[in-house]
Amino acid sequence: MKMAFSIVRGRHSKNAVEKAAQIIFTVCAFFAVLAVFSITLYMLINGTPALFKVGLKDILFGTVWKPTAKEPSFGILYIILTSIVGTAFSIAIGVPIGVLTAVFLAEAAPKKLAAVVKPAVELLAGVPSVIYGLLGIMILNPLMYRVETAVFKGSETHQFTGGANLISAVIVLAIMILPTVINISESALRAVPSQYKSASLALGASKIQTIFRVMLPAAKSGIITAVVLGVGRAIGEAMAITLVSGSSVNFPLPFHSVRFLTTAIVSEMGYASGLHREVLFTIGLVLFAFIMLINTCLTKLLKSKDTQEKVKEAGSRSEGKSCGTAGEKKNRAGAAVQGEA
């Protein structure tokens, strides 16, 4: 026997499902915000005491890091500069290579070749960071040591690093951010409507012009997202950098052994205690603030550019309408004159 269908009953069940889904989504969003707030609060509680005990100026602008000395010093200026310089150069190397690789996979690569390259790029994303560090020790550091000995041959003042220096760290970071930049940029390029490409080619633009003048600007928001995630990966990396950078507090020059913010925490947290441990939490707070600042600035930059583009589009539309209105008035005036004649 068939059950009678009721519109009222179906509507009630649909409303119940929608209300339940709304509650679930609200709870998930609340816990996401709560997680960010909890992390921020934890870092503030554990990172600020050392600022009052040692002094903000001595920590952030001091250049001597000797936490276990008889008269300890906790200056992290060189560590902050190393993180800034290392991240900037790794992004400068990795982002262009990643974006151009994404363009190749999305627009130019033959299907058979893309079917080989894309899984290889995705496999890079799954390689543990310690493996990158081990490969850096076995392959990259000996090469950098050869370059270092050739550059500083006969020098009596240079302290040789064995290849564990800033250049090695930058190269490893640039390689590690490639999968993130490539995958997200390729997805952004494939999401661009095909009509954009067809219209550009129909107007006489070459394929290269279409890619760089149409496709990349249209996928700009996705590419900027890839850059933001790449910056986060580069800043937050610790294990691989610990193995290839030398982990010494020095001014960030190419052939100096250096220490990043993350490596400072990893290398000393195991045995630190007292004020030394509190300063390491302060370094974590600086790292957290650094990441939040970069994400906020890039987000505002993206929004400002989108707003400017919308204003330009609105202005061009209004100019087109005004030109069209003026033309219609002229046509009407001409018709009126001809009618009087």
User: What digits encode the pLDDT tens for the residues 198-256?
Assistant: 999 999 888 999 999 999 999 988 888 898 888 888 888 888 999 999 888 899 999 99
State whether residue 257 is helix, strand or coil.
coil
Give residue 92's pLDDT. Answer: 93
Question: If we measure between CA atoms, which residue out of 166, 183, 260 comes closest to residue 227?
Answer: 183
CB contact at 8 A, 31 and 23: no
Give residue 11's pLDDT. Answer: 64
Residue of 119 and 4 predicted with greater confidence: 119
Per-residue pLDDT for 80 more than 70? yes
Per-residue pLDDT for 7 more than 60? no
Give residue 337's pLDDT. Answer: 46
User: What are the sequence ranges of the domains in the chain?
Assistant: 53-300
Rounded mean pLDDT, 86-107: 92
Work out the pLDDT band at 320, boundaries 50, 70, 90.
Answer: low
Q: Please state, for a pLDDT cut of 70, what percent of the chain lies above it.
A: 85
Sign of CA dihedral 37, 42, 48, 49: positive
CB contact at 8 A, 54 and 66: no
Q: Please state, for a pLDDT cut of 90, what percent of the chain lies above it.
A: 38
Give the number of other CB atoms < 10 A from CB of residue 187: 15
Residue of 333 and 199 predicted with greater confidence: 199
Give residue 259's pLDDT. Answer: 92
Report phi then psi at 259, rounded to 5. -135, 130
Rounded mean pLDDT, 141-166: 89
Query: Which residues 6+ apart lie within 8 Å of 314 measured at CB?
Result: none
pTM of the model: 0.80
Return mean pLDDT, the chain.
84
Bridge partners (DSSP) listed for residue 73: 66
Q: For residue 262, what are its two tokens?
A: 């993350």
Angle at alpha carbon of residue 225, lines to 32 and 194, rounded to 5°? 120
Query: Which residues 6+ apart lie within 8 Å of 165 measured at CB?
Result: 144, 148, 245, 246, 254, 255, 256, 257, 258
Give residue 315's pLDDT. Answer: 62
Residue of 17 and 334 predicted with greater confidence: 17
Give residue 10's pLDDT. Answer: 58
Residue of 334 and 319 predicted with greater confidence: 319
Per-residue pLDDT for 308 more than 90? no
Work out the pLDDT band at 173, boundaries 50, 70, 90.
Answer: very high
Work out the pLDDT band at 139, boundaries 50, 70, 90.
Answer: very high
Amino acid letter at 218? A
Is it true that domain 53-300 has CATH number 2.40.50.140? Answer: no
Per-residue pLDDT for 316 more than 90? no
Give residue 313's pLDDT. Answer: 59
Q: How far is CA 214 from the centre of its chain?
A: 23
In b/e form, how buried is each residue of 204-213, taking b as 16+ CB within 10 angstroms? ebeeeebbee
Give residue 3's pLDDT. Answer: 53
Give residue 298's pLDDT. Answer: 75
151 burial via Cβ count (<10 Å: 0-12, 13-18, 19+) = exposed
Residue of 120 and 337 predicted with greater confidence: 120
Work out the pLDDT band at 273, boundaries 50, 70, 90.
Answer: confident
Chain segment 27-63, per-residue pLDDT in tens = 999 999 999 899 889 988 988 889 888 888 889 998 8
Rounded mean pLDDT, 144-153: 91
State whether residue 74 is helix, strand or coil.
strand
